[in-house]
Amino acid sequence: MTTTPATALELPLGPGIDILTQAPGGLLAFDKPAGVLSHPNMKSEQPRALLTCDYSIEGEFYHWIDATGVSRHLWLLNRLDSHTSGVILGCVEGELAKRIRLLFRQKHIHKSYHALVFGKPSKASDVWRDRLAIEKRGGQVRAKAGEGIPSESEVKVLRQRRDSATALALIELTPRTGRSHQLRVQCAHRRLPIVGDATYGDFGANRALAKVSGIKRLCLHSHATRFDYEHEGRVVHFSAVAPTPPEMLGLV
């Protein structure tokens, strides 16, 4: 059985997955809807994953046999929580995947997120600096502010809703560090909980807004990812942007 790089047209895309861009070396950016898994942990989860095929937890790649009997692979380069939408990256060439994973570890990847939050931010732009303690409880990751690892994010207010009793704001978050649940905890710590956050959010406000608007998702969206990488002796300037979902924009 032979193994050759897949192309975007041959990918067994999961529900609602769009390809945003395909770059030299087989680098792909996808727009993942909220509720879709970055990867399945068991076979029964495959129908609601990024690709609807087998996944190697150890190697961190999807693999399948195409219609011609050829073995195909897509290496996953980053992950989003299932409730978070937006840009997620994969690569069909293993060597390039290794190099880009190294860029992630070396913090050379620029990412920005959009979040719909309850409340009124005190500044139009800011840098949030906190210390976050990360722990695992029953297989789940939890974080809390006040102690632990230094964590920083740049923040900019994009839009605000002023004509309602429920104050809402759309903000852009650019993490300078990459802690688990960092953005969600930093928002909640400043009494700006993300709409729909069932772990760190305002549960009463979530229920009330869902009742009048129908929105029930976590309103956190991976908006843009940018970085440079080398391919065949030249530098590629990579950029992928996933439009902010209309259900988030429609509330501000």
Q: Based on C-alpha coordinates, what's the Rg of the chain?
A: 19
- What's the CA gap between 24 and 17, in Å, rounded? 21
Q: Where are the domains of the chain?
A: 8-106, 112-220
Residue 249 scores a pLDDT above 90: yes
pTM: 0.89
Q: Which residues of 35-51 are buried (b: 16+ CB within 10 A; e: fewer)?
A: ebbbbbeeeeebeebbb
- What CATH fold (topology level) applies to the domain 112-220? Pseudouridine synthase (3.30.2350)
Q: Give Cα 183 to chain centroid, integer Å.
A: 11
CATH architecture of 8-106: 2-Layer Sandwich (3.30)
Confidence of residue 4 (pLDDT cuts 50, 70, 90): very low
Least reliable range by pLDDT among 54-68, 90-104, 144-158, 229-243 = 144-158
Q: Which of 105-109, 112-116, 133-137 has the highest mean pLDDT?
A: 112-116
- What's the CA gap between 244 and 179, in Å, rounded? 23
pLDDT the model gives residue 8: 58
- As given in the structure block, the two tokens for residue 17 are 């997955």
- What's the CA gap between 192 and 117, in Å, rounded? 5
Residue 68 scores a pLDDT above 90: no
- Residue 148: name the closest of 119, 100, 122, 185 by CA: 185
Question: Do the beta carbons of residue 85 and residue 221 sit within 8 Å?
Answer: yes
Residue 138 scores a pLDDT above 70: no
